[in-house]
Amino acid sequence: MSVAGTDGALGAPYERALRTPTGPLMLHDVGRARSVRMDVDRFLAAPDEIDSALARTVDGPVLDVGCGPGRMVRAALDAGHAALGVDVSRAAVSIARRRGLPVLRRSVFDTLPAEGEWGTALLLDGNIGIGGDPAALLGRCAGLLRSTGRLVVETHPAARRDHRFHGMLRDDVGPSGTPFPWAEVGRLALRAHAAGAGLELVREWRTDARRFAEYTRPGSLDPVVSDGIGG
Fold of 47-164+183-216: Rossmann fold (3.40.50)
Rounded Cα distance between 152 and 75, Å, is 14
Q: Is the peptide bond before 61 cis (omega within 30 degrees of 0)?
A: yes
What's the pLDDT tens digit per position in 143-176? 999 999 999 999 999 999 999 999 989 887 766 6
Q: What letter would DSSP give residue 186?
A: B
Beta strands in 71-143 (DSSP E): 83-87, 103-105, 118-123
Mean pLDDT to the nearest integer, 125-133: 96
Tell me the pLDDT band of 89, cut-offs 50, 70 and 90.
Answer: very high
User: 130 CB contacts (<8 Å, ≥6 apart)?
Assistant: 2, 4, 65, 66, 108, 123, 137, 182
Quote the pTM value.
0.91
8 A C-beta contact, residue 85 and residue 105? no
Average pLDDT over residues 117-122: 98
Closest alpha carbon to 1 in 102, 81, 82, 108: 108
Q: What is the DSSP letter of 175?
A: B
Model pLDDT, residue 50: 97
d(CA 73, CA 1): 12
**Residue 210: exposure state from Cβ atoms within 10 A (0-12, 13-18, ≥19):** middle
The helix (run of H) or strand (run of E) holding residue 97 is: helix 90-98
Q: What angle separates helix 12-19 from helix 90-98, to the nearest 10 degrees? A: 20
Task: Give me the sheet containing 162-170, strands edge to edge.
Answer: 34-38, 25-29, 162-170, 180-185
pLDDT value of residue 45: 94
| Contact between residue 59 and residue 149 where contact means Cβ atoms under 8 Å apart | yes
Radius of gyration of the chain, Cα coordinates, nearest whole angstrom: 16
Residue 178: per-residue pLDDT: 80
What pLDDT band is residue 218 in, cutting at 50, 70 and 90?
confident
Q: In terms of pLDDT, which residue wins out, 5 or 95?
A: 95
Mean pLDDT over residues 211-231, rounded? 69
Query: What's the average model confidence in pLDDT over 196-217?
Result: 96
Domains in the chain: boundaries: 47-164+183-216
